Amino acid sequence: MQQYNDLCLELSTIITHRYSTSFTRGIKTLNKRFHKPIYAVYGYVRLADEIVDSFHDFNKKELLEEFKKNTWEAIDNKISTNPILHAFQLIVNEYKIDRELIVSFLYSMELDLEKKSYDEAFYEKYIYGSAEVVGLMCLRIFCEGNNELYNKLIEPARRLGAAFQKVNFLRDLKADFKELGRVYFPGIDFKTFDNAVKKQIEKDIDADFKAAYPGLMQLPKDVRPGVYTAFIYYRELLSKIEKVPASEVMNTRIRVPDAEKMVLLLRTYTKFGFSMF
């Protein structure tokens, strides 16, 4: 059984490496004992995201319903023949990840199948389920059973997850609208997206980053560098978006070049010390 467990966790690692080099770099700055658990969480949410965003030639609703059913069976039975679900259930059961977080995540995936535009209420629900709860799953792993610390850091973890997701929305504005027909920001019409609207969104994201930072610095020392790496990467991405006009955001996917990512990673090592890794 241990061989199967290890294989499933390894497959989640491969998925993370293939889909997100930036996230992989951040994970590698965590203490090694956190690598596989975080990879398992990422593999799970990535698979769900692929169902709703990529499987265009198939019945996405049926696939997502099956995925949801199989998720709960895996967690309850503590086994699955789907390697990604098996890896995820291992971590959910070991770290006692709250089921409400998984329910909210799956609800946001359902919204991606149905909603193309959002009012304020659904926007907040979507942000919570698609991003904030993922941060809380990771926080549960990082706290390793320390409920007092977990409860203390819930709000900053949520704000950080929200900031990451909102930056993604800005970065992917063109693809979300033109390929998937979605506009996540409430009350925003893609066709009239201008600099004033863009600046308002950026101000909101900056407030999330500022609210999240003090909590980040209270994380256990052997996970702090990894979360900080993600923090400065997304903050740099927002900075690049802030420097270009709304018209460019609507027509170009802004990114941080690999060379700059390496500079940001070096900032983490410099800030926390090479001995921590």
Domain chopping of the chain, boundaries: 2-276
Q: Give the right CATH number for 2-276 from 1.10.600.10, 3.90.340.10, 1.10.287.610, 3.30.450.40.
A: 1.10.600.10
The 10s digit of each residue's pLDDT in 54-107 is 998 999 999 999 999 999 999 999 999 999 999 999 999 999 999 999 999 999
Interval 110-139 mean pLDDT: 92
Mean pLDDT across the chain: 91
Return d(Cα 245, Cα 71) in angstroms, integer: 42
Q: pLDDT higher for 120 or 132? A: 132
pLDDT average, residue stretch 219-235: 92
- Overall pTM surpassing 0.75 (yes/no): yes
Q: What percent of the chain shows pLDDT beyond 70? A: 98
d(CA 151, CA 227): 18
pLDDT bracket for residue 274 (50, 70, 90): low
40 to each of 19, 136, 142, how far by Cα in Å? 13, 14, 14
Q: Rounded to an integer, what distance in angstroms lies between the CA atom of residue 17 and that of residue 43?
A: 10
Under the banding of pLDDT at 50, 70 and 90, the label for residue 119 is confident
> Tell me, what's the pLDDT at 266?
82
Q: Tell me, what's the pLDDT at 277? A: 46
- Residue 27 pLDDT class (50, 70, 90 cuts): confident
Residue 141 near residue 95, CB atoms below 8 Å: yes
Cα end-to-end distance, the chain, whole Å: 30
In degrees and rounded to multiples of 5, residue 255 shows phi and psi of -140, 165
Q: What pLDDT does 273 receive?
A: 67
- 183, 117 contact by CB (below 8 A): yes
Q: Average pLDDT in the 140-154 region?
A: 97
Half-sphere exposure of 151 (CA within 13 A, CB side): 3
Q: Is the pLDDT of residue 276 over 70?
A: no
Examine the pLDDT at 251 and tell me if it is beyond 90. Answer: no
Residue 125 pLDDT grade (very low, low, confident, very high; cuts 50, 70, 90) = very high
